């Protein structure tokens, strides 16, 4: 049955979306939210809304963060929240890192896990101050490991005519119209992409590289004709544990064509285990689609 959520509005602090959900020992559950504490540098308040026996209770506490040996980010702005088991929740900032906290322990502190270093092409093309990392990265948890995937567009400079270089010393009069022009910016064509996956256990102090996949290794698809982004990792499933889902659209599509394809890529066998599935991006952006990964039980009948 559906449970009506409480009023979680706070007149004094802005709660950061999204929120996390965890079960508790009383057969209820806890809705957890973070807010930034401006009184303490890079610290947060944890807001817990507990639901037990049809009653909501709320409490708030200061949440200190242990950054260990990592660089302390200016602020964590979560893109998603992942459940890590046994009351642990992770607020994931796909640019910066993950804040991990045990919402069952009233005295627990959070610890910070930094994200892997961005691939070189993404460092040049994207800025965390002006763009979202949802089109580049995803993070999930399953089988005791945090998993991360990142996609990097492979670029090639567009050919252009070589400008004629004039020697001004040969001119008696140098008109204003002949003054040097601002050089044109180099334009690029996207000719493919590459994927990299990382994983780590909760107790590790490092990320371990998983697989690297280049689009040319999937020769049956002409990726040069497609715009591909938004890698999505499946939830913990033994059958699809090596899968990464990508969203692709035709580059030269008609303006009114809102069709995109969800493409499943097996990073282990470097193949496409399923046919691409079309869907409409109407009222959505292909870079930031309104999709929520979920797992359906194998016993669910159509």
Do 161 and 63 fall into the same domain? no
Instruction: Dump pLDDT digits (tens) for 29-82.
Output: 889 999 988 776 667 899 998 888 778 888 888 888 888 888 777 788 999 999
Do 54 and 128 fall into the same domain? no
Give all strands of the β-sheet with 97-102 in edge-to-edge order: 65-66, 110-114, 97-102, 88-93, 80-85
pTM > 0.85: yes or no: no
The better pLDDT of the pair 149, 216 is held by: 149
Contact 231, 147 (CB under 8 A): no
Question: Could you tell me what percent of the chain has a pLDDT over 70?
Answer: 81
Q: How many domains are contained in the chain?
A: 2
Do 123 and 266 fall into the same domain? yes
pLDDT on residue 172 = 80
Give the H or E element holding residue 120.
Answer: helix 120-125
Do 146 and 233 fall into the same domain? yes
Indicate left, alpha or beta for 144 from its phi (over 0: left) and psi (-120 to 50: alpha).
left
Highest mean pLDDT, choosing among 44-53, 179-188, 243-252: 44-53
Do 136 and 221 fall into the same domain? yes
Between CA 262 and CA 245, with CA 113 as vertex, the angle to 5 degrees is 5
> Is the pLDDT assigned to residue 240 strictly greater than 50?
yes
Do 79 and 197 fall into the same domain? no
pLDDT on residue 34 = 92
CA 60 to chain centre: 28
Residue with tokens 């944890």: 46
Burial of 98 (0-12, 13-18, 19+ CB in 10 A): buried
How does residue 300 score in pLDDT terms, banded at 50, 70 and 90? very low
The better pLDDT of the pair 213, 25 is held by: 213
> Is the pLDDT assigned to residue 288 strictly greater than 80?
no
Burial of 251 (0-12, 13-18, 19+ CB in 10 A): exposed
Do 193 and 89 fall into the same domain? no
Rounded alpha-carbon distances, angstroms, from residue 60 to 25, 151, 159: 19, 38, 59
Rounded alpha-carbon distances, angstroms, from residue 290 to 119, 232, 282: 25, 12, 10
Measured in degrees and rounded to the nearest 5, phi and psi for residue 134 equal -65, -25
Rounded alpha-carbon distances, angstroms, from residue 39 to 30, 42, 106, 159, 230: 26, 9, 21, 54, 36
> Is the pLDDT assigned to residue 10 strictly greater than 90?
no
Contact 98, 112 (CB under 8 A): yes
Instruction: Out of 63, 95, 115, pick the residue that ends a domain.
Output: 115
Joined together, the tokens standing for residue 12 give 């004094």
* Nearby residues of 91 by Cβ (< 8 Å), 6 or more positions away: 16, 20, 34, 76, 78, 81, 98, 99, 101
Domain interval for residue 243? 116-302
């Amino acid at each position: 049955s559906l449970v009506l959520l409480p009023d979680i509005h706070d007149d004094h602090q802005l709660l950061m979306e999204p929120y996390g959900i965890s079960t508790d020992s009383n057969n209820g559950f806890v809705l957890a939210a973070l807010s930034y504490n401006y009184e303490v540098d890079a610290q947060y308040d944890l807001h817990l809304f507990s639901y037990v026996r049809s009653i909501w209770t709320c409490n708030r506490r200061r949440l200190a963060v242990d950054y260990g040996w990592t660089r302390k980010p200016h602020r964590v702005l979560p893109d998603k929240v992942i459940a890590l088991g046994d009351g642990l929740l992770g607020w994931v900032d796909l640019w910066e890192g993950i804040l991990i906290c045990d919402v069952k322990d009233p005295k627990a502190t959070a610890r910070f896990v930094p994200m892997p270093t961005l691939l070189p092409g993404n460092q040049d093309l994207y800025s965390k101050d002006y763009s979202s990392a949802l089109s580049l990265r995803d993070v999930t948890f399953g089988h005791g490991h945090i998993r991360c995937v990142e996609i990097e567009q492979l670029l090639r400079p567009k050919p252009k005519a070589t400008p004629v270089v004039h020697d001004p010393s040969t001119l008696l009069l140098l008109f204003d119209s002949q003054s040097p022009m601002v050089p044109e910016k180099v334009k690029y064509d996207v000719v493919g992409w590459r994927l990299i996956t990382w994983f780590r256990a909760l107790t590790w102090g490092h990320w371990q590289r998983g697989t690297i996949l280049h689009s040319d290794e999937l020769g049956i698809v002409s990726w040069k004709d497609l715009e591909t982004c938004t890698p999505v990792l499946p939830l913990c499933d033994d059958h699809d544990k090596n899968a990464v889902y990508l969203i692709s659209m035709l580059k030269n599509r008609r303006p009114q064509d809102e069709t995109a394809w969800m493409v499943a890529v097996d990073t282990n066998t470097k193949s496409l285990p399923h046919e691409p599935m079309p869907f409409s991006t109407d009222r959505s952006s292909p870079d930031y689609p309104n999709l929520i990964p979920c797992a359906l039980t194998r016993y669910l009948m159509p």
